[in-house]
Structure 1
Amino acid sequence: MLSSIKHKVILLLQLLLVLTYIIFEELIWEGIAKPIYEAIHALKILQKIEAKLERVNPSAILAIFVVLLTIVEAFGVYAGMLFVSGQMVLGLVLYISKIPIAAFTFWLFRVTEEKLMQFGWFKWLYEWIMRAIDWIKSSEIHRRTMEYLLQVKIRIKALKEKYFSGESPFIEKMKQLYKRLKVLLRT
């Protein structure tokens, strides 16, 4: 009996880790943060900063990185507290406002990774996190969840094509309603 409870708790924890990872990877990173990261990376001013970072002391880079990461994580925790306390809009605004900072922090990590990895504890922590992510991605729960999400995406795409395609009667009715409202608001 104790073994069964232990097994269920481990499965629940694994499911929570998988869902958290999927939310951050699929929704936040792929949908929001990655495009911001790519836009940041393309900025000419940051390319100049990148060249200057090559001359900066690794300890200074580590300090900057840790401060930025701490700010990003504090925003995330506080946003979560706001969500739990029922202040959804404020929590959402705070969470969304942290995304550009997180993307910049990720950019900083990528361009200074070699210097950051000079710190043994930092390298150990980074490798541990990467192993944890690999473990999550290799789990059966992750595989099944991703298959389920793929089916959901297919269904959403079918609904989108049915109701929101260019020749959809729904879209035509919405366009007509918009035109009528526009005329009414002008008069």
Structure 2
Amino acid sequence: MLSTFKHKLILLLQLLLVITYIIFEELIWEGIAKPIYEAIHSLKILQKIELKLETVNPSAILFIFVVLLSIVEAFGIYAGMLFVSGQMILGLVLYISKIPIAAFTFWLFRVTEEKLMQFGWFKWTYDWIMKAIDWIKSSEIHQKTIAYLVQMKMYIKALKEKYFAGKSPFIEKMKQLYKRLKALLRK
């Protein structure tokens, strides 16, 4: 009985980790942060900073990175506290406001990764996090959840094409209704 409870607890923990990872990876990173990261990376001023970072001491880079990462994490924790306390809009605004800082921090990491990896504890932590992510991605729960999400995306895409395609009767009716409402409101 204890073994069954332990097994279910481990499965629940794994499911929570998978859901959290999918939310951050698929929704937040792919949908919001990655486009911001790419925009940041393409800025000419940051390309100049990138060149200057090559000459900066690894300890100074580590300090800047840790400060930025701490700010991002503090914003995330505080946003979560706001969500839990019922202040959803303020929590959402705070969480969204941290995304550009997180994207900049990720850019800084990518640009200075070689220098940051000179610190043994930093490299160990990074390797441990990557192993944890690999473990999550290789889990059966993750793979089934991703397969389900792919099916849902295909279903939504099919619905979108059926009902919201260029010359869909549904869209044409909605446009006509909008035009009638607009004409009525002008009178």
TM-score class, shorter-chain normalisation, is over 0.9
Is the counterpart of residue 23 in structure 1 residue 23 in structure 2? yes
- CA-to-aligned-CA distance 1:30-59 (integer Å, 9 cap, x gap): 111111111110111100000001111111
**Alignment CA distance shift 1:9-1:175 (3 Å):** same
- Counterpart check, 1:38 vs 2:24: no
Paired AA for residue 86 in structure 1: G
RMSD: 1.4
Could you tell me how far apart the structure 2 residues matched to 1:153 and 1:41 are?
29
**Deviation of 1:170 (Å):** 2.4
Deviation at 1:79, TM superposition (A): 1.1
Secondary structure of the 1:86 match is coil
Moved over 2 A (4+): 173-187
Q: Counterpart in 2 of 1:127? A: 127
| Structure 1 partner of 2:159 | 159
Corresponding residue number in structure 1 for 2:13: 13
The letter of the residue matching 2:153 is K
| 1:104-115 pair list within 5 angstroms | 104-115=104-115
Normalising by structure 2, report the TM-score.
0.95
Q: Unaligned 5+ residue runs, structure 2?
A: none
Number of residue pairs the alignment of both structures matches: 187
AA of the residue aligned to 2:128: W
Tell me the amino acid that sits aligned with residue 76 of structure 1.
G
Residue 163 of structure 1, CA deviation:
1.7
Aligned to 1:48: 48
| Cα drift, residue 102 of structure 1 | 0.5
Distance in 2 of aligned mates of 1:54 and 1:122? 19
CA distance in 1: counterparts of 2:174 and 2:102, whole angstroms: 38
Q: Tell me which amino acid in the other structure corresponds to 2:84.
A: V
Could you tell me how far 1:181 is from its partner in structure 2?
4.7
Alignment partners' CA distance in 2, 1:55 and 1:178: 60
Q: Evaluate the alpha carbon distance shift between residue 146 and residue 61 of structure 1 in structure 2; reply closer, same or farther with a 3 A threshold.
A: same
TM-score (norm 1): 0.95
Give identity over the alignment, percent: 86
Unaligned ranges ≥5, structure 1: none
